[in-house]
Amino acid sequence: MPKVLSLRRLTDDEARTIDRLAHSRTEPARTVERARIVWQAHRGARVPAIARALGLCEATVRLWLTRFNAGGVDGLRDGARAGRPPTYTPEEVGEVIAASLTKPDVFGLPFGSWTLDRLAAYLHEIERLAISRSRIGEMLRAEGLRWRREETWFGERVDPEFVPKRGRSSPATTRHLRGVS
């Protein structure tokens, strides 16, 4: 037979917080459910009655009452979850971002703008950081940077006279007429 689990005495501040969380319509559902467990225990309900009232198993009710007794309101939060550790350290991610925001000619490279392939090659050969072009793109997006929209990443044209030398795109292309203002 499971032993009787009782809730420790709540402070006034904890009681107000648990009451607010238990009746909240804006807090996450997990938090509300856990607060309801504690609130009912605070009002004198036993584990089996709380489990029936909330549609939970007794083990879940016992878990959250035990965690509340040990950690207070903070004990009702989700704990850290296991998962795969990050592949690249924050320093390596910083290297990728810094390199992408720096013009290639600063590094003495023979081109005026980065492409993902060029950046990946530079990071692999010079910085000794083996990273795929798709992962570089993901890192840049995660930082809120866009490869095609940020002009600083492209750098300027190697030849500043490129547009006048190029001329019109095609003889068949007509010039746009400007309206009179």
Q: CATH number, domain at 20?
A: 1.10.10
Least confident of 6-10, 27-31, 119-123, 162-166: 162-166
Say yes or no to pLDDT of 102 above 80: yes
Average pLDDT, the chain: 85
Least confident of 19-33, 37-51, 116-130, 160-174: 160-174
Question: Could you tell me if 38 and 68 are in contact, meaning their C-beta atoms sit under 8 angstroms apart?
Answer: yes
Domain range for residue 145?
Answer: 90-158
Instruction: Evaluate whether residue 165 is within a structural domain.
Output: no
Residue 72 sits in the same domain as residue 99: no
Number of domains in the chain: 2
Residue 95 sits in the same domain as residue 154: yes
Residue 70 sits in the same domain as residue 19: yes
Q: What are the structure tokens assigned to 37, written together?
A: 């467990």
Rounded to whole angstroms, how far apart are CA atoms 10 and 20? 14
Q: Quick one: pLDDT band at residue 156, thresholds 50, 70, 90? A: low
Instruction: Evaluate whether residue 81 is within a structural domain.
Output: no
Question: Could you tell me if 67 and 75 are in contact, meaning their C-beta atoms sit under 8 angstroms apart?
Answer: yes
Instruction: Evaluate whether residue 5 is within a structural domain.
Output: no
pLDDT mean over 85-94: 90
